[in-house]
Amino acid sequence: MTKQIDFSRFSSIKVGPVSDVIVVNDCSELPRNAHIIGSCSNILISDNPPPLCMLSKAFDFIMIKNDLLHIGAATPSGKIVSFCKKHDIGGFEFLAHLPGKLGGLVKMNAGLKEYEIFNNLVSLRTCSGEFPKESLEFGYRYTKIEGMILEAAFAYERGFDPAKVEMFRKMRANQPSTPSAGSCFKNPPGEYAGRLIEAVGLKGKRLGGMGWSDVHANFLVNYGGGTFVEAMELIEEAEEMVLQAYNITLEREIIIL
């Protein structure tokens, strides 16, 4: 089955064309060369994207089984937090204001400071089988996971902590509310990408509808009607200027398709 998606509405950065996306119900339907998308909170879609696929609603589930939390890869972060609140489960409060679905959160090892989705991960399942955490390569906003993540199992502790939800909300106070895909670049070791972008004078710079946020320089934001071409010009300019000024190669956190 395919679904038409308007990426200028669907993606968090509100950029992209209307495009067909293959909806996958099980592994037999997984197209070979299609790129996987979750909720597109970390993806910038070009005007001519490659073939795209996403998991169907069959993978939007969450349950406790054998003392582990089993979460389907199409489950949104907000639903995970609601479940944890309802069942008095702790350790997932950091997802409260972190947009994404479980598959994207795991693939990106999403998190905030020392709180990362891999912290509680026990194993995950892809179309190639079950993989214990110990067998996976992962790091800061990085994993090496091949293929479509279908679901993952997590250890959990008792006690949902609303104070932590509030703490994470406050930690986001320096992030813009204008549409974005989150941080554009990873922080280089011992540095902050936002500080570097600001230091080369790009904080607040606009090009058409896109710009580097004047709230947080590492957020590429869409003020309305921003295009892929404008976004790429800003990204490449920042990379070039930071390289020239500091000899630092910024690594993109945003995924460009």
Give catalytic residues, as residue numbers: 141, 183, 253
Least CB distance from residue 229 to ligand FAD, whole Å? 20
- Residue of 79, 107, 203, 216 that binds ligand FAD (CB under 6 A): 107
User: Angle at Cα 5 formed by Cα 3 and Cα 62, nearest 5°?
Assistant: 70
Least CB distance from residue 102 to ligand FAD, whole Å? 7
Whole-number Å distance between alpha carbons of 77 and 69? 14
Does 112 bind ligand FAD (CB under 6 A)? Our answer is: yes
Q: What tokens appear for 80 in the block?
A: 């995970």
Q: Which is nearer to ligand FAD, 104 or 238 (CB)?
A: 104
Query: What sign for the dihedral angle of Cα 94, 100, 106, 111?
Result: negative
What b/e sequence results for 116-133 when a residue is b if at least 16 CB atoms lie within 10 Å of its CB, and e otherwise?
bbbebbebbbbeeeebeb
Report the 10 Å Cβ neighbour count for 228: 20
CA-to-CA separations, 19 to 10, 52, 53, 147, in angstroms, rounded: 11, 8, 11, 21
Q: Which is nearer to ligand FAD, 77 or 200 (CB)?
A: 77
Does 79 bind ligand FAD (CB under 6 A)? Our answer is: no
Does 100 bind ligand FAD (CB under 6 A)? Our answer is: yes
Whole-number Å distance between alpha carbons of 44 and 14? 9
Q: Which is nearer to ligand FAD, 90 or 111 (CB)?
A: 111
Binders of ligand FAD among residues 197 to 256 (CB under 6 A) are 255
- Residue of 8, 14, 21, 41 that binds ligand FAD (CB under 6 A): 41
Least CB distance from residue 74 to ligand FAD, whole Å? 7
Q: Compute the half-sphere exposure of residue 222: CA atoms within 13 Å on the CB side of its CA.
A: 22
- Residue of 16, 49, 72, 99 that binds ligand FAD (CB under 6 A): 99
Does 70 bind ligand FAD (CB under 6 A)? Our answer is: no
Does 194 bind ligand FAD (CB under 6 A)? Our answer is: no
Q: Which is nearer to ligand FAD, 105 or 200 (CB)?
A: 105
Q: Is 87 in a helix, a strand, or coil?
A: coil
Residues paired with 43 in a beta bridge:
255
Q: Which is nearer to ligand FAD, 158 or 170 (CB)?
A: 170
Name, in order, each residue with C-beta under 8 angstroms of 82's C-beta and a sequence gap of 6 or more. Answer: none
Does 24 bind ligand FAD (CB under 6 A)? Our answer is: no
- Residue of 96, 121, 148, 152 that binds ligand FAD (CB under 6 A): 148
Q: What tokens appear for 13 in the block?
A: 């950065």
Interface residues with ligand FAD (CB under 6 A)? Answer: 12, 35-43, 55, 73, 98-101, 103-105, 107-108, 110-112, 141, 148-149, 175, 180-182, 255
